[in-house]
Amino acid sequence: MTKLSVSTFFDFESGYSTLLDCIFEELPKNNCLLKPRSFSNSVGKYEKYFENAPSLKEDLDLLISPPCNELNFSNFIFFLNHHKKRIHFTMWESTRINDIFIEQMNNMRAVIVPNKWNKTNFEAQGCEVPIHVINLFVDTNIFNYQQPIVKNEFIFGTANKDPRKRLEDVVRCFNKAFPDKKDVKLRIKISPKESYDKTFTNNRIEVVKNSFTTEELKDWYSYNDCFVSCVSAEGWGLMQHESMACGRPVIAAKYAGLSEFMTEENSFCVNYKEVPAEGFWKAPAAKWSKYDEENLIETMRFAYNNPNTVEAKGIIASQDACKLNKEFFISNLLDVISKYK
């Protein structure tokens, strides 16, 4: 039996939560004894794992945490317990990060990232420990192919108010693409915690600000025809992946994490160029993508005018997306763990 401690450091709802859920649910089924550890007070729904945590001398510590791009108190986590066998599961959304993070990565036994883009960037910046690429997953028990819904309008879906997602750009491009069309709609899903005070003068743009169950989220994806994104970069792209699993292809730049599962056959890949990264993701010479606006607008119009092509891509999208499931992820994670325990 593998004795594994799981350390976490994040206090926001994100793909890291989905990753942590999967690890606590699935690894014990695969001969792993887990001891949860946390460097954050915001453990929330994970309290139950701490209540009956085993007392053990672990074989390995798995740190699940976003990187720190700024020199502040939160960096302390990367300086702790380097005498232990520690593997860090992380991801980043621009081509470079603060060099202090690379230094701390080199104190780990190994690093796990979800995409080859991260591996290439970290290695180019000086990471010398082994970096393993383990693709993330979609829960195919929930997100799986759904027949297109017959309706009198074509619907694009988009989501998330994070500045990196460029939600306002999606809205602007939608309005430019369809200034007069009445039978097309943009549905925006945001978290209840996100503020969004913009109002729209017509019913072609709908904002949903609810906490969805996974079944409700599946229904939201399934009522769309496409998922459109102007995101700068994704470490993975969970919503894009889930949309594709439901048979709703993605319109986006095939860049960073999205390049792990988007193809010309299963998606509408938008032209882009690399530009300097901004905000939290800014670092010396750091870059990310900027979609080509004209090409994005043309692609949205093409999808609207060619629903049969959208449906055909959706079938392929679901087949490809569902290959990256929990079982595949856990199998790859166990292979890496076995190398270092």
Give the residue, 85 or 177, on which the prediction is more confident: 177
Residue type (1 letter), 23: I
Backbone angles phi, psi at 82, to 5 degrees: -75, -5
CA dist 296 and 268 (Å) reads 9
Question: How many Cα atoms sit within 13 Å of 261 on the Cβ side?
Answer: 32
Residue type (1 letter), 152: N
pLDDT reported for residue 171 = 94
Residue showing tokens 């799981």: 6
pLDDT band at residue 75 under the 50/70/90 scheme? low
- Per the document, the length of the chain is 341
85: pLDDT strictly greater than 90:
no
73: pLDDT strictly greater than 80:
no
16: pLDDT strictly greater than 90:
no
Residue showing tokens 């993605």: 250
Mean of the pLDDT values across residues 2-23? Answer: 80
Rounded to the nearest angstrom, the gap between the alpha carbon of residue 279 and the centroid of all alpha carbons in its chain is: 19
Backbone angles phi, psi at 94, to 5 degrees: -145, 175
pTM of the predicted model over 0.85: yes
230: pLDDT strictly greater than 60:
yes
pLDDT band at residue 83 under the 50/70/90 scheme? low
Give the residue, 42 or 144, on which the prediction is more confident: 144
Q: Name 9's Cβ contacts closer than 8 Å, sequence gap at least 6.
A: 38, 39, 40, 63, 64, 65, 66, 74, 77
Return the ∠ at Cα 274 (arms to 269 and 279), rounded to 5°: 110
Report the mean per-residue pLDDT for the chain.
90
pLDDT tens-digit profile of 279-317?
989 999 999 999 999 999 999 999 999 999 999 999 999
Check: CB of residue 291 under 8 Å from CB of residue 270. Answer: yes
Residue type (1 letter), 282: K
Give the residue, 84 or 254, on which the prediction is more confident: 254
By C-alpha distance, which of 57, 83, 63 is closest to 16? 63
292-to-242, 270, 299 alpha-carbon distances in Å? 24, 7, 10
pLDDT reported for residue 67 = 80
pLDDT tens-digit profile of 240-264?
999 999 999 999 999 999 999 999 9
pLDDT reported for residue 77 = 56
Q: Name 242's Cβ contacts closer than 8 Å, sequence gap at least 6.
A: 138, 143, 217, 218, 221, 321
